[in-house]
Chains A and B, each alone.
Chain A
Amino acid sequence: MATINLNINGKQQAVDVDPKTPLLWVLRDHLDLVGAKYGCGMAQCGACTVIMEGNAVRSCSLPVSSVANKKITTIEGLSANGDHPVQKAWLEHDVAQCGYCQAGQIMAAVALLGKKPNPSDEEIETAMNGNICRCGTYLRIKAAINTAAKS
């Protein structure tokens, strides 16, 4: 066990956990932030995506010790009222079916738009290819990202 200082959604907090614990399980089990989802545990599906220092990262495969003091944003920290432009675009296009992967999709989209405010369709496809949606809402995801880029 070790005490690790985390900067999550603008809040500094210390957790006392096995330093090898993936960030995902610290978020979900210790901090009650369950928006990031467990899908594969090996960075293959993107359901656990959060943003660290501006980059989309797979929290299921990042030991918590490696993210100490780094600026981390989860879906819960994206906006106070669910009105981040990407969230709004997701609602406008009524993207979700089951919804399980969508927090990860949204975080990947936010990271993409942070780097490329006006991505081409090809750039969207490349950036979003790591996030599986088993319900197959890919076209709406792409459309929502285009809408968010325009807003």
Chain B
Amino acid sequence: MNTKTSRRAFLKVSVLASGGMLLSFNSLLLGKSFTREAMSLSAESFELNSFIKIATDGTITLMSANPEFGSNVKTSMPMILADELDVDWGKVTVEQADFYPERFQRQFTGGSQGIRLGWKPLRTAGATARRMLVEAAAKTWSVPVEEITTESGMLYHRGSGKKAGYGEMASLAATLPVPKDVQLKKLSALNIIGTSQKNVEGKSIVTGKPLFGMDYKQDGMLIAMVTHAPAIGQAIKSVDDKAARAMPGIKDIFTINTLRDDYERNAFDTTTFTEMVVVVGNTTWEVMNAKKALKIEWQLAPEKKIMVKGWGGSTQPVVIPAGLESTVTHKAKMKEMSAKPGNVLRKDGDPEGAFKTAAKIIERTYTAPYLAHNTMEPVNCFAHVTAEKAEIFGATQAPEFIMQTLVARLGLPKEKIHIRLARMGGGFGLRAYCHHILEAALISQKVNAPVKMVYTREDDMTYGIYRPTYTATYKAGLDEKNNLIAFHVRGGGVPEHAVHANRFPAGAVDNYLAEGWEINSNITIGAFRAPRSNFIAAAEQSFLDELAELAGKDPIAFRLELLDRAKTNPVGKNNDYNPDRYAGVLKLVREKSNWDQTKPNISRGVAAYFCHNTYVAEVVDLRLDGNKPVIEKVVAGVDCGIVVNPDAAANMGEGAIVDGIGNVLFGEMTFKDGVPEKNNFHQYKMVRQKDAPGAIEVHFVKNEEEPTGLGEPLFPPIFAAVANALYRASGKRYYDQPFEKQIQVNRSRM
């Protein structure tokens, strides 16, 4: 979705939503209130558009459309509205909107796009509502619109001394036509955007209020748990549920089949197991115990051919191969494929010829394993499906992607399917895949009761939808003066490669070749914080570090030299980055980390990357305690344009850095005969308090560029920054993630 389209679409919605205005909250959706809180307002409330409600007592309610998974959109996006509406942030109430795409357009949290794509529509919505209030005041006071000013939720007419709160004008404003070309504030006049505001749900979080899908409860609600095959590639052969049925509190046990093989799936209908045995009962503990008492025989699942509708709307056949796959086999196959040419993704100049003339050539291969998302809140969902309607409450990053499948599978029109968005106990990409919503809905439909379906941690970790396993081989040629004259990347993975052919250093090298190859698999994969970038940045930025060393250059100076080339005399036309902004974050981090000064007993590594529209460079200060890395400090330089909520932005950056440190050192999922070899945190090592850096500084480039994403871009560079610092600390390069068990001091190199 581009910003232009979304803005136009938004304005259309505004007109629709405010056309009749005095909208009754009771009539909006399925006979239920649009938001429960709205019902409790004692004063009469008026909608100025989809996002803004103003009550006659002056209460201002801002809707947060996007699902919240911890990136703080529920605070930062309404801040944008509030600024243009010209109200005091401390006096507004923020409510989570239900899924209602006709009103809100994009209700998707992912791809670090919330703020970027929300920036103009939200500013416009705020400014439009403000303008309608101004017009209402002008009409009431019979004065020209231009003479009215606003401040902190008040309207003023200086000439006559008249003033009124927004609440007093809301009912009239809501009847006015929606103005078309409203004036947005000058950037210098913004007074909420750019200030640090605390999480609007902070108090609820620290007092343990029910916020998450897992916390949901209603009268008559049953608990359901599913059992999927222990190995990916298996299907049910037989179920003996006799013992489980006899256990206390158990209501029903049955098998569900979520998606038929001939169902044309959407891109986010990724489902590892379409067959599951379901236990339904009164309480979680009873159901957990009965689940353990099931006796299920499994058999090999046959190869499946399915149709999948991609992002662009075109449908592609996909083969899900039969078989039980293992990490050992994946590694061998990847090694074999790495030696062969892949599909050419980009070629500039004559790489083969240039390598022949090169004075020095270096070639290195990098690998990374599958990763499990391991959100702290295991997958769960509430559903109540009757013959007339479906009520859903759960964690999802992407409600729009499941609606079509719910319609097809439940046999209800979408108007009768109401999805409410729970705060998510983490997302990281996992909750873009909504199989859990479908599973909960089918279970509720079958038992004809409200049901909360809950995965155990083991169900969650072994379900599939992992970050893929990748490899990339880099080769570079330097001439006699140590100039980079040839560059070749060949990347692959199961089942996708991670090569972004038009990203840096494409554009900075005359002779450049990028290739990709893929191996099909039945192990399901999905978006994982900065998909593909999270591996390729690690490989590329580790390689550039080694290449700079070969060229005898400082790693930052070497990158800046290449970026200067890409700016002054770029190679090719499709280079997917702005060399100035890229260089800007490197210069910022060089300054803020005092890169040019050495520190006693500290080894430093740097890496930089551009993804999700944001430029990031990071410096890691590390020392080894025996073979254990101790990260003293991480300094990040970030260019994401205007920063809406600086402290919250820093928090997310710190989190991405800690997340990356955990994954590069420990993160790993492996398979044996289709079975994920880790199923809980005793086996899957997560980053913990003791592994976190001593300090993290996140510095933002100050500019007036429109804001871009922040949830993902600080994640990819940390992998290589750690690898490069580890090299300097240990004298040994690290190529195969995770590194923890390989760390060893190479005395001969020290």
Contacts and interface: CB of A to CB of B under 8 A. Distances in A.
Interface in B629-664: 647-648, 651-652, 654-659, 662
A42 to B, nearest CB: 6
- SS class of chain A's interface: helix, strand, loop or mixed? loop
Given A22-B285, A99-B201, A136-B656, A34 B206 contact: no
B210 interface: yes
A103 B208 CA distance: 6
A128 B692 CA distance: 12
Given A39-B376, A94-B199, A98-B69, A139 B426 contact: no
A77 to B, nearest CB: 9
B284 A99 contact: no
Contact of A44 (B283, B285, B682): B682
B59 interface: no
Contacts of A135: 70, 376, 426, 655, 659
A68 interface: no
B425 interface: yes
B76 interface: no
B655 A97 contact: yes
B9 interface: no
B426 A96 contact: no
A94 B457 contact: no
B740 interface: no
Interface stretch (B385-393, B486-494, B683-691): B683-691
A100 to B, nearest CB: 3
A134 B687 CA distance: 8
A30 B285 CA distance: 11
Contact of B206 (A36, A47, A87): A87
Interface in A98-137: 98-103, 106, 124-126, 128-137
B304 interface: no
A2 to B, nearest CB: 12
B211 interface: yes
B696 A139 contact: yes
Contacts of A102: 205-206
Nearest to A96: B205
A98 B376 contact: yes
B599 interface: no
Interface in B200-239: 201-203, 205-212, 214-215, 217, 223
B18 interface: no
A100 B377 contact: yes
Interface string A48-92: 000000000000000000000000001110110010000100110
Contact of B214 (A38, A79, A94, A139): A38
Contacts of B6: none
B654 A136 contact: yes
Given A22-B285, A87-B206, A136-B657, A100 B376 contact: yes
B473 interface: no
A149 interface: no
Contact of B217 (A17, A32, A45, A76): A32
B425 A98 contact: yes
Contacts of B456: 41
A129 to B, nearest CB: 5
B286 interface: yes
A134 B431 CA distance: 15
Contacts of A1: 248
B202 A97 contact: no
A74 B71 CA distance: 27
Given A28-B215, A74-B208, A134-B659, 8 more contacts: A22-B285, A25-B284, A29-B285, A45-B681, A98-B69, A99-B205, A128-B689, A135-B655
Interface of B: 69-72, 196, 198-199, 201-203, 205-212, 214-215, 217, 223, 248, 283-286, 288, 374-378, 423-428, 454, 456-457, 647-648, 651-652, 654-659, 662, 680-682, 686-690, 692-693, 695-696
Smallest CB-CB A-B distances: 10 pairs? A35-B208, A136-B658, A100-B425, A98-B70, A75-B208, A97-B70, A138-B692, A136-B655, A44-B681, A99-B205
Interface of A: 1, 17-18, 21-22, 25, 28-30, 32-42, 44-45, 47, 74-76, 78-79, 82, 87, 90-91, 94, 96-103, 106, 124-126, 128-142
21 contacts: A18-B285, A39-B376, A39-B377, A39-B378, A40-B681, A42-B680, A42-B681, A44-B682, A75-B206, A78-B207, A87-B207, A90-B206, A96-B201, A96-B206, A99-B211, A99-B423, A100-B375, A100-B376, A137-B658, A138-B692, A139-B654
